[in-house]
């Protein structure tokens, strides 16, 4: 850099770069993604400092910022990895060390691959056999309501499919530009994708006082106001909620569907946590099922895209980037356009497709692997349920922290009271007050959580998102450490 | 549909769909991607008809439309799949059936993964260790010129990285909209991505008479004309060429770099076929190496993004979607923006990252797996070289077919003479003449190739792209069948 500065003093100086902050895509500049934002960059630095022997008030950084189960020590489900290893290296099909059903499943998947190999491209919407298995999974899940494999598009994680559907929806200029209603708090993929696509983000607020319930009156308010400056054409719902952990009631889903139908909104249902429901009395209802059971005109007219993923649930196979979208009542000509669009990227990763197949089509009770598979699955889900309960209890026992029940998903999103002097100090630093809190928390305890401002929240309230994924023996001390830090922080700025 | 039509006659009729061809994203509608276009859809139908026992003048469909080596029967490289199976299922690390270096490599990769598992997300630019290995690969490839791991971004195949870099470059409205120079013929990812991003495609023609050479005078012509209606800011080069198979000389690359520097163009070098060079006298020179060896001011100022992939080369592991981009002389603030942008999609598939690691860091001569690895690699590359030569010979022996040498990559792109009556017939059908030819070829022989119009070509010339990937014993009859069909087709329309 010193050399470059020196050169600049001579003639002819270096040319300005072609690609600079001034000249680059302004939409990309507006993108924000808090889950991997500055706080996580700082966490990485702290880990490196610890490795280099720098003394800190903590011995390890705990990454409770992202729903990454295996990074927090959760073991992969044996059956999934057995089948995948057989698919990756079919020589192992001759080995005596694999159960026979794992071999059968691997052979079935390989038969459906080009050249019988995970190394060939699949068709762009995903391997036909796997899309059929996904359709059957949906049919079982929804009590027999049929699903059509030609409505299933496999994807590179659910994120990929969500962005693809949003991409189709974006059109118009000025006041006619597509607006998309998203919940606040939201998972920031939505705000990021809308910024990148230069669409209009329309916020509707979840009701924290009623356990983050979705209220149609609030949808109506948001829609009415948005119509002044854009053309709202889609409504995103995240159920179970991320970061908010609520599970929607069937009545609520029906009301949302009626609203979307009346107001002519394309529905995007982010249902990637459909297997992560813990609270007694809570139950997952898919939008597809509710919409179909509501009958005419909803069943045959309301457009819907429902997303699912292999990254969450009980398996937490984030690294494989497996996911899918089911489109319902989509105009066939638009579906053709969607197929064309995804074909440009050739295909989703085939190992991720294979993994998704095992998730939607797990061992049957008569299979040799069933007992172990079922035991592993139940252990993970039971632990998550216990951790969800514990998180809520410990936080709510702390003065100044209020935590709604974690009915589902993998996160708590507690509200924290921050003293006015802390808010003022943050403003002096040009920082959101909860970012200031979370950064101080990280520096002093090694706990990495994401400030609520990264997800959106009502003005003047402060939150953070913390995963419930750390192992049980670590989670309780972690929650207590965090609560103590909040007390100390409150005292410091009072 | 009958029911729907019935309903429409009653009041209140069904509402029009929210998302239709009229209301959807017009940029997405403009996207075209011939490699998986209508001809491939028809090939799929023909395969299904054959399976159902429909009689055809051929017994199988040969998919020579896409560079998908393993789908055409190429066997995966043993070492790669051994290490990957160990990574997927680490219980196998105790098995006696794997060479010790495969185990060491698997352990090394797992150590670098979150929770020591392929199932955890990696950081968004890719696993640090693998980016270091990529940097060392580049350094070895380029005769010692250093590469910085912080300039390496792993990706979901090279396509993903190419779109990311293009996305950064797109800005401005009207005459200030970003223009991007791309070769004609081109790999249609470029035209598709530019259409989707609503950037301006600026065509420069490769010189078919000089074996698809890139001529700077033609670049200058294209640039001058483009400046009337857009703001050209980037230049894409594909070397070795896809679909055209040429390998650029060092002199040519130097001239391109000087041109880009003078005209202030960001360079995108698509170098995914860098290991696929067959012709005697041809050699791959990376843009990074040439640019660096040209010294000041190019070495420290010319902005470059160079793309590579695990899908091509000798391994052909398309399904894993492994790839990377190295950015050179990129503004650090823009690099930060790029990092933020890729973080929204969390991370590239981790199995693909692991596979890429093995490709850039293959067994060393002292490793137990070296001999077998080297033998397998050489066999594939020697066969590809022989098939490249054979393709050129057979096509050039056929009247009315002219095939440039396939110096590298995986495709021939022969020019075919089509009789005026065939051209007229195609126009009556509303079809590009070479699309008409390729569809007839498919229907009558089962050979699936992509019409030249999908890649772009000089007005009035007709081509097709055919991969050289079918196994040797199939390739010669295939080439002869195709040549005979052309003769018959010519006679039919003369």
Please name the member of B20, B32, B85 whose beta carbon is closest to the beta carbon of A88.
B85
> Which residues, in sequence order, are bridge partners of residue A237?
A269
Calculate how close chain B gets to A441, using CA atoms only, in Å.
22
Nearest C-alpha neighbor of A485 from the set A451, A448, A452, A444: A444
Residues of B whose CB is below 8 A from A77: none
Calculate how close chain A gets to B46, using CA atoms only, in Å.
15
| Three-state secondary-structure class, residue B377 | helix
B-facing residues of A in 38-57 (CB < 8 A) are 44
Judged by CB atoms closer than 8 Å, whether chains meet at B70 and A317 is answered as no
Residues of B whose CB is below 8 A from A157: 345-346
**Closest alpha carbon within chain A to B110:** A71
Helices B420-428, B433-445: axis angle to 10 degrees equals 90
User: Which pLDDT does position B300 carry in this prediction?
Assistant: 95
A191 — contact with chain B (CB < 8 Å)? no
Judged by CB atoms closer than 8 Å, whether chains meet at B169 and A196 is answered as no
Q: What angle do CA B309, A125, B127 make, to 5 degrees?
A: 35
Same domain assignment for residues B355 and B380: no
Residue B239 CA, chain-centre distance (Å), reads 11
Q: Is residue A7 very low, low, confident or very high in pLDDT (cuts 50, 70, 90)?
A: very low
Same domain assignment for residues A155 and A63: no
- Once rounded to an integer, what is the mean pLDDT over residues A399-426? 95
Identify whether B2 is part of a domain: no
| CATH at residue B248 | 3.40.640.10
**How many Å apart are CA A318 and CA A469, to the nearest integer?**
13
**How many Å apart are CA B343 and CA B330, to the nearest integer?**
18
- Mutation pick from B18, B187, B335 vs chain A, by most beta carbons of A within 10 Å, is B18
Please name the member of B31, B70, B318 whose beta carbon is closest to the beta carbon of A344.
B31
Identify whether A15 is part of a domain: no
User: Which pLDDT does position A9 carry in this prediction?
Assistant: 45
Same domain assignment for residues A257 and A334: yes
Are B118 and A322 in contact by the 8 Å Cβ rule? The answer is no
What are the helix and strand counts (H, E) for chain A?
Answer: 18, 14
How many C-beta atoms surround the C-beta of residue A61 within 10 A?
22
**Closest alpha carbon within chain A to B232:** A18
Same domain assignment for residues A147 and A175: yes
Tokens of A112: 């459906």
pLDDT beyond 50 at A4: no
**Closest alpha carbon within chain A to B63:** A114
Same domain assignment for residues A211 and A125: yes
Identify whether A149 is part of a domain: yes
Same domain assignment for residues A346 and A403: no
**How many Å apart are CA A238 and CA A222, to the nearest integer?**
17
Phi, psi angle pair for B270, to nearest 5°: -90, 100
Domain boundary residue, one of A313, A330, A360: A360
A/B interface, count of CB pairs below 8 Å = 299
Calculate how close chain A gets to B266, using CA atoms only, in Å.
6
Are B395 and B403 in contact by the 8 Å Cβ rule? The answer is yes
Same domain assignment for residues B336 and B385: no
Please name the member of A17, A119, A170 whose beta carbon is closest to the beta carbon of B316.
A119
Phi, psi angle pair for A73, to nearest 5°: 105, -5
| CATH at residue B41 | 3.90.1150.10
- Cis ω for the linkage preceding B240 (within 30 of 0): yes
Same domain assignment for residues B354 and B431: no
- Once rounded to an integer, what is the mean pLDDT over residues A114-123? 95
Q: Is residue B36 very low, low, confident or very high in pLDDT (cuts 50, 70, 90)?
A: confident
Give the gyration radius of chain A's Cα atoms: 24
Judged by CB atoms closer than 8 Å, whether chains meet at A301 and B97 is answered as no
B477 — contact with chain A (CB < 8 Å)? no
Residues of B whose CB is below 8 A from A171: 23-26
Tell me the pLDDT tens digit for each residue of B137-159.
Answer: 999 999 999 999 999 999 999 99
Please name the member of A297, A319, A347 whose beta carbon is closest to the beta carbon of B119.
A319
Same domain assignment for residues B305 and B341: yes
**Closest alpha carbon within chain B to A73:** B115
Parent domain of B430: 27-73+374-492
Same domain assignment for residues A184 and A246: yes
Q: How much of chain B is in helix, strand and coil states, percent to nearest 5? A: 50, 15, 35
Tell me the pLDDT tens digit for each residue of A14-56.
Answer: 778 999 999 999 999 999 887 777 888 899 899 999 999 999 9
**Closest alpha carbon within chain A to B192:** A344
pLDDT beyond 90 at B35: no
- Once rounded to an integer, what is the mean pLDDT over residues B174-200? 96
Identify whether B426 is part of a domain: yes
B372 — contact with chain A (CB < 8 Å)? no
**How many Å apart are CA A167 and CA A163, to the nearest integer?**
6
Judged by CB atoms closer than 8 Å, whether chains meet at B92 and A72 is answered as no
**How many Å apart are CA A127 and CA A411, to the nearest integer?**
32
Are B352 and A121 in contact by the 8 Å Cβ rule? The answer is no
Judged by CB atoms closer than 8 Å, whether chains meet at B319 and A66 is answered as no
B179 — contact with chain A (CB < 8 Å)? no
pLDDT beyond 60 at B8: no
Residues of B whose CB is below 8 A from A341: 28, 31, 196
User: Which pLDDT does position B6 carry in this prediction?
Assistant: 40
**How many Å apart are CA A238 and CA A182, to the nearest integer?**
9
pLDDT beyond 60 at A3: no
Domain boundary residue, one of A360, A388, A405: A360
Judged by CB atoms closer than 8 Å, whether chains meet at A343 and B33 is answered as yes
Residues of A whose CB is below 8 A from B232: none
Please name the member of A119, A163, A349 whose beta carbon is closest to the beta carbon of B156.
A349
Calculate how close chain A gets to B299, using CA atoms only, in Å.
11
> Which residues, in sequence order, are bridge partners of residue B183?
B204
**Closest alpha carbon within chain A to B333:** A21
Q: For all residues of chain B together, what is the average pLDDT?
A: 94
**Closest alpha carbon within chain B to A84:** B88
Judged by CB atoms closer than 8 Å, whether chains meet at B300 and A15 is answered as no
Tell me the pLDDT tens digit for each residue of B217-269.
Answer: 999 999 999 999 999 999 999 999 999 999 999 999 999 999 999 999 999 99
**How many Å apart are CA B96 and CA B84, to the nearest integer?**
16
pLDDT beyond 90 at A132: yes
Domain boundary residue, one of A360, A391, A412: A360
pTM for the full model?
0.93
Q: How much of chain A exceeds pLDDT 90, in percent?
A: 91
Judged by CB atoms closer than 8 Å, whether chains meet at A344 and B159 is answered as yes
Positive or negative, the CA dihedral B15, B19, B21, B26 is: positive
Calculate how close chain B gets to A108, using CA atoms only, in Å.
16
Tell me the pLDDT tens digit for each residue of A305-342.
Answer: 999 999 999 999 999 999 999 999 999 999 999 999 99
Identify whether A95 is part of a domain: no
**How many Å apart are CA B462 and CA B449, to the nearest integer?**
13
Judged by CB atoms closer than 8 Å, whether chains meet at A345 and B159 is answered as yes
Tell me the pLDDT tens digit for each residue of A209-230.
Answer: 999 999 999 999 999 999 999 9
Identify whether A393 is part of a domain: yes
The tally of domains found in chain A comes to 2
Please name the member of A189, A345, A352 whose beta carbon is closest to the beta carbon of B349.
A352
B-facing residues of A in 195-214 (CB < 8 A) are 196
Burial of B78: CB neighbours in 10 Å, binned 0-12, 13-18, 19+: middle
Identify whether A286 is part of a domain: yes
User: Which pLDDT does position A277 carry in this prediction?
Assistant: 96
- Once rounded to an integer, what is the mean pLDDT over residues A228-248? 96
Calculate how close chain B gets to A477, using CA atoms only, in Å.
20
Same domain assignment for residues A326 and A271: yes
Same domain assignment for residues A341 and A378: no
Identify whether B91 is part of a domain: no
B429: enclosing H helix or E strand: none
User: Which pLDDT does position A138 carry in this prediction?
Assistant: 98
Judged by CB atoms closer than 8 Å, whether chains meet at A349 and B21 is answered as no
């Amino acid at each position: 850099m010193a050399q470059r500065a020196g050169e600049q003093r001579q003639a002819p100086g270096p040319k300005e770069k072609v690609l600079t902050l001034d000249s680059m895509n302004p939409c990309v500049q507006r993108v924000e993604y808090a889950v991997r934002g500055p706080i996580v960059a700082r966490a990485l630095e702290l880990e490196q400092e610890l490795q280099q022997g720098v003394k800190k008030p903590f011995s390890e950084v705990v990454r409770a910022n992202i729903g990454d189960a295996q990074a927090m020590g959760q073991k992969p489900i044996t059956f999934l990895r057995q089948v995948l290893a057989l698919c990756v290296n079919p020589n192992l099909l001759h080995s005596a060390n694999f159960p026979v059903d794992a071999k059968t499943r691997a052979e079935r998947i390989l038969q459906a691959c080009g050249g019988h190999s995970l190394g060939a491209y699949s068709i762009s919407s995903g391997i036909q056999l796997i899309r059929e298995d996904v359709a059957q999974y949906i049919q079982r899940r929804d009590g027999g309501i049929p699903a059509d494999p030609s409505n299933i598009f496999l994807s590179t994680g659910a994120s990929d499919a969500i962005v693809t559907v949003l991409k189709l929806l974006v059109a118009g200029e000025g006041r006619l530009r597509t607006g998309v209603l998203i919940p606040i708090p939201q998972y920031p993929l939505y705000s990021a994708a809308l910024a990148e696509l230069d669409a209009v983000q329309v916020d509707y607020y979840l009701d924290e006082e009623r356990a983050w319930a979705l209220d149609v009156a609030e949808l109506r308010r948001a829609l009415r106001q948005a119509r002044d400056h854009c053309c709202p054409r889609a409504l995103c719902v995240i159920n179970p909620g991320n970061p908010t952990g609520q599970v929607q009631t069937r009545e609520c889903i029906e009301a949302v569907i009626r609203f979307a139908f009346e107001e002519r909104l394309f529905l995007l249902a982010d249902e990637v946590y459909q297997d992560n429901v813990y609270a007694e009395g809570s139950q997952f209802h898919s939008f597809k099922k509710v919409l179909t059971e509501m009958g005419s005109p909803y069943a045959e007219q309301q457009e819907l895209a429902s997303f699912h993923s292999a990254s969450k649930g009980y398996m937490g196979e984030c690294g494989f980037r497996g996911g899918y979208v089911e489109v319902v009542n989509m105009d066939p000509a638009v579906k053709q356009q969607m197929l064309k669009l995804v074909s440009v990227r050739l295909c989703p990763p085939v190992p991720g497709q294979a993994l998704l197949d095992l998730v939607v089509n797990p061992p049957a009770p008569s299979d040799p692997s069933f007992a172990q598979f079922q035991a592993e699955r139940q252990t993970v889900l039971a632990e998550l349920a216990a951790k969800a309960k514990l998180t809520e209890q410990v936080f709510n026992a702390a003065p100044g922290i209020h935590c709604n029940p974690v009915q589902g998903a993998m996160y708590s999103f507690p509200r924290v009271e921050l003293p006015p002097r802390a808010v003022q100090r943050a403003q002096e630093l040009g920082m959101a007050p909860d970012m200031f809190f979370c950064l101080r928390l990280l520096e002093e305890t090694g706990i990495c959580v994401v400030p609520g401002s990264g997800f959106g929240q009502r003005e003047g309230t402060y939150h953070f998102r913390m995963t419930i994924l750390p192992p049980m023996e670590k989670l309780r001390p972690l929650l207590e450490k965090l609560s103590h830090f909040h007390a100390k922080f409150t005292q410091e700025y009072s």
